Structure 1
Amino acid sequence: MAKSDYFPHPDNDLLVWHDRFKVNLAAKQAELGLSAEDIASVERDNLELHDRISAGSAASAAARQATAAKTASVNNVEGNTRALVRRVKAHPAYSDAMGNFLGVIGAEDTIKLSEAKPVLTGVDQTGGVVVLNFIKSKSDGINIYCQREGEPDFIFLARDTIPPYVDNRPLLVAGKPELRRYTAVYILKDAEVGQYSDELVVICAP
C-alpha cells in the first residue's frame, strides 16, 4: 500500500513536525554521519519557518481586522449620510436641481428584476472567511447559494438584504486551501425573481 507524503503542509502540523525532526536528527547526528553544518542548516530552516509562519498569521489577522474595520466604517458613513440627506430633502428649500448638485439623486433604474441577475464579487480573507458584495437594485436582497469542493451540488447559504455578506464558515479541512463556488438570485417579497448570477469562484487560503 502506498504511503502518504511525510512532509505536512498545514502550518501547525508542519511546525510540530519540523521541531521534532530537528531535535531527533541532532540526536542521531553521529550515527548518521551528519556534519555540524547539516544540523545547523536544519536549525536555520526551523527558525525561518517559525518566523515566516508567525508573520503570515499576523498579516492574515491584520487583513481580516482591516477589512472588518473598513466595512464598519462604510456602513457607519452610509447611515450618517442617508440620515442627513433625508433631512436635506425634507427642507422647504430643497429642489431636484439642488439634489443633482449634491449628487443625492440616483440614476433612473431601468432594470427589470424579472430578467435581471445579480453580479457577485468576493474577496478571500483566509481561514474560510469570504466577503461577498452585490448591488440590491430594486430588489429586497438576494439568496446566496454555495458549493464547496467535494460537495455534489449548490446548497442554500443565506439570504442577505444589506451587502456585504460575510461567509465565515471554517475550512472543511483545517490548513488546506478550499475552492468555493457561489451564485445568487434576487428576491422580492420573499420570492426569487430573475436569473441566477454567473458563478463566482473563490479559492480560500488557510
Structure 2
Amino acid sequence: MKRSNYYPNQLPERPEWHTNFAAKLQIYGPALPLTAAQINAAVADNRYLAYGLGDWISNVRDFAPACTAALANLATGTGGEAFVFTPYNTPVLPTLPAGITEVLPGALDRTFRLVQVIKGLPGYTDDMGMDLGIIGEEDTAEHTRPEFTLKAEAGDGCNCVRVRHKKFGHYAVAVYGKRGSGSFELLGISKDTPFQDARPLLVAGQPEIREYKLRFWDAGTESGDWTDVASITVSP
C-alpha cells in the first residue's frame, strides 16, 4: 500500500510534528543507536522549528495589525500624549538540551537527512517510525489522474513554467500544453517533478497564456483520466 509523505503538508500541523519528533527521539535514539550528540542536536533543531512555525510566527502575525494601527496613529492621530511605538514581546525561546547553546540555519534539512539515517539503522522498526511520525499514513484513495500545480518563472532568457506534479506511484506523467491558436501537444514525459516548460514566447516581448493537462504514463503508454486544464500567464 502506497503511503503519503510523513511531513505534514498543512503548515499548522508542523509544530506538533516537530514537538513529537523531538520528544520521541529522546526515547528511541539510544536504541537505534544514535549518539547523545546526534540526539541533542536534533532535539534542539526540532524544538526551534516547532517554536518558529508555531508560537513565534503566530505572535508576529498577531503583532502586525497593532503595528499598522500605531503607524496610522503616528501619522494622523490626535491627542496630547507622546506617541510610543507598540513594543514587541517575543515569546520565550524553547529550552535546548544540555551542551547546546545555539541552532544554526538548515534545521529542517538536517532533520530530513537524520530521518533517512534513522531508517537505515539496525535498531529501527516500523512501530518506532510510526511513533516518531516518520512514516506517512496509508494512501487508500484511488487516484485515476495526476495532480499538478503551475508556477511561472522569468529571467536569464527563460520564460518558463514549472509544472509540479504527483504521479501516485505511476512511472511518469505525460505533460501536454497549448498556447495561442494551437492545439494541445505533448511537451514531454516527466518522471521527476517539476517538469519545466522552457519554450520561448511565441512573440518576443509579449505575454501569453499557456494551458496544461496531464495523464499518467506507464510502460510506454498513457493511462488514466485527463486532469482538468489549468492555465497560467507567462510574461517577458
Q: TM-score range by the shorter chain?
A: 0.5 to 0.7
Q: Is the Cα–Cα contact under 8 Å of residues 109 and 137 in structure 1 kept in the other structure?
A: no
Q: Which residue is equivalent to 2:175? A: 144
The separation in 1 between residues aligned to 2:114 and 2:180, in whole angstroms, is 45
Q: 1:166 aligns with which of 193, 196, 200?
A: 196
* 1:111 to partner: Cα distance: 3.8
* 1:149 to partner: Cα distance: 1.2
Question: Which protein has the larger Cα radius of gyration, Structure 1 or Structure 2?
Answer: 1
- Backbone CA RMSD of aligned residues: 2.6
Q: 2:226 aligns with which of 192, 196, 204?
A: 196
The list of structure 1 runs, each at least 4 consecutive aligned residues, that deviate by more than 4 angstroms after superposition, is 77-87
Query: CA, structure 1 residues 142+80, in 2 after alignment: closer, same or farther (shift >3 Å)?
Result: farther
Q: Which residue is equivalent to 2:161? A: 130
Q: Is the Cα–Cα contact under 8 Å of residues 147 and 167 in structure 2 kept in the other structure?
A: no
The separation in 2 between residues aligned to 1:117 and 1:204, in whole angstroms, is 25
Normalising by the residue count of structure 2, what TM-score does the alignment of the two structures yield?
A: 0.48
Q: Is the Cα–Cα contact under 8 Å of residues 174 and 214 in structure 2 kept in the other structure?
A: yes
Q: Which residue is equivalent to 1:121? A: 149
Q: Which residue is equivalent to 1:7? A: none
The separation in 2 between residues aligned to 1:82 and 1:186, in whole angstroms, is 28
- Residue 143 of structure 2 is aligned to residue 108 of structure 1: no
* 1:125 to partner: Cα distance: 1.2
The separation in 2 between residues aligned to 1:82 and 1:189, in whole angstroms, is 32
* 1:101 to partner: Cα distance: 3.1
The separation in 2 between residues aligned to 1:78 and 1:188, in whole angstroms, is 34
SS at match of 1:173: coil
Q: Is the Cα–Cα contact under 8 Å of residues 152 and 161 in structure 2 kept in the other structure?
A: yes
Query: CA, structure 1 residues 129+181, in 2 after alignment: closer, same or farther (shift >3 Å)?
Result: same
Higher helix share: 1
Normalising by the residue count of structure 1, what TM-score does the alignment of the two structures yield?
A: 0.54
SS at match of 2:173: strand
Q: Is the Cα–Cα contact under 8 Å of residues 147 and 154 in structure 1 kept in the other structure?
A: yes
Q: 2:212 aligns with which of 182, 185, 192?
A: 182
The separation in 2 between residues aligned to 1:185 and 1:166, in whole angstroms, is 16
Q: How many pairs does the alignment contain? A: 127
Q: Structure 1 unaligned runs (5+)?
A: 1-76
Query: CA, structure 1 residues 102+190, in 2 after alignment: closer, same or farther (shift >3 Å)?
Result: farther
The percent of aligned pairs where both chains have the same amino acid is 32
The separation in 2 between residues aligned to 1:169 and 1:80, in whole angstroms, is 36
Q: Is the Cα–Cα contact under 8 Å of residues 119 and 198 in structure 1 kept in the other structure?
A: no
